[in-house]
Amino acid sequence: EAEVAQSPRYKITEKSQAVAFWCDPISGHATLYWYRQILGQGPELLVQFQDESVVDDSQLPKDRFSAERLKGVDSTLKIQPAELGDSAMYLCASSQRQGANEQYFGPGTRLTVT
Amino acid sequence: DAKTTQPTSMDCAEGRAANLPCNHSTISGNEYVYWYRQIHSQGPQYIIHGLKNNETNEMASLIITEDRKSSTLILPHATLRDTAVYYCIVRTYRDDKIIFGKGTRLHILP
């Protein structure tokens, strides 16, 4: 069964350093999402792509976070500089199209900022 | 903000039916009820969704009240692998954004 791939699974970084996460969605899925999940809470949408275009980045802290999906396939989420409050799980999800029934989530990247 | 209210946690004995309630009293006519679950250290997993009729699939059943203000997710024969956080979500079919609340932490007891 096709799955969303994410790497790394775990990342420890010092504050003020740069960090990047990678996501490879299910093949053929046009819509890709990045979520952030703080311990004990539900995931929160950071950014949504339709193919290579950003559809929604209203919750993305643009002073330090950036996301790209250059060829409309895999995607990278970057944080620079990282802050202590960025410690969280970063989840990637994909769906066949906008408004589709199901979003398929990857296993996530657990970020710890020290 | 999430449009749903769920209990913080629930326990269920292994082999019994787990019934997870969800209140969505402000649901609109074109909004669906979706359920996802998140097993520890994994990403959320879609379970089921419905509009107004009861729905069943290989994972669970969804019972929606006639006034659509509440629903219940039923796992008919809970196993230890069903231990997870279960999220009840309200969204329109065309609305991409999933707004997760804190969900219900379900513990299946051996």
Q: What are the tens digits of pLDDT across the range B16-52?
A: 999 999 999 999 888 999 999 999 989 999 999 999 9
Residue range B1-6: average pLDDT? Answer: 83
Between A and B, how many CB-CB pairs are < 8 A? 55
- Residues of chain B with Cβ-Cβ distance to A4 below 8 Å are 43
CB B108 within 8 A of CB B18: yes
Beta strand B55-56 with B61-64 is antiparallel
- The tokens 């408004």 sit on which residue? A99
Q: Tell me how long chain A is.
A: 114
* Tokens describing residue A19: 């960090």
Render pLDDT for A37-60 as a digit per residue (tens, 0 to 9): 999 899 999 999 999 999 999 999
What gap in Å lies between CA B21 and CA B6, rounded to an integer?
6
pLDDT beyond 90 at A98: no
> Mean pLDDT in chain B?
93
- CA closest to B87 among chain A residues: A42
Q: What is the pLDDT of residue B16?
A: 97
Render pLDDT for A18-27 as a digit per residue (tens, 0 to 9): 999 999 999 9
CB A95 within 8 A of CB B95: no
Sequence letter at residue B109: L
Beta strand B104-109 with B9-13 is parallel
What gap in Å lies between CA B47 and CA B57, rounded to an integer?
8
pLDDT beyond 90 at A35: yes
Q: What is the pLDDT of residue B106?
A: 98
Q: Does B45 touch chain A (CB under 8 A)?
A: yes
Residue B68's nearest CA partner among B100, B24, B30 is B24
CB A36 within 8 A of CB A88: yes
> pLDDT category, B99, cuts 50, 70, 90?
confident
Q: What is the pLDDT of residue B1?
A: 63
Beta strand A31-37 with B61-64 is unpaired
CB contact under 8 A, A107 and B87: no
The torsion defined by the Cα of A99, B68, B6 and B101, in degrees rounded to 10, comes to: 20
User: How far does the CA of residue B76 sit from the closest CA of chain A (Å)?
Assistant: 22
% of residues, chain B, pLDDT over 90: 83
- Residues of chain A with Cβ-Cβ distance to B101 below 8 Å are 42
Q: Does B30 touch chain A (CB under 8 A)?
A: no
Interface of A with B in 26-65 (CB under 8 A): 31, 33, 40-45, 48, 55-56
What gap in Å lies between CA A86 and CA B109, rounded to an integer?
34
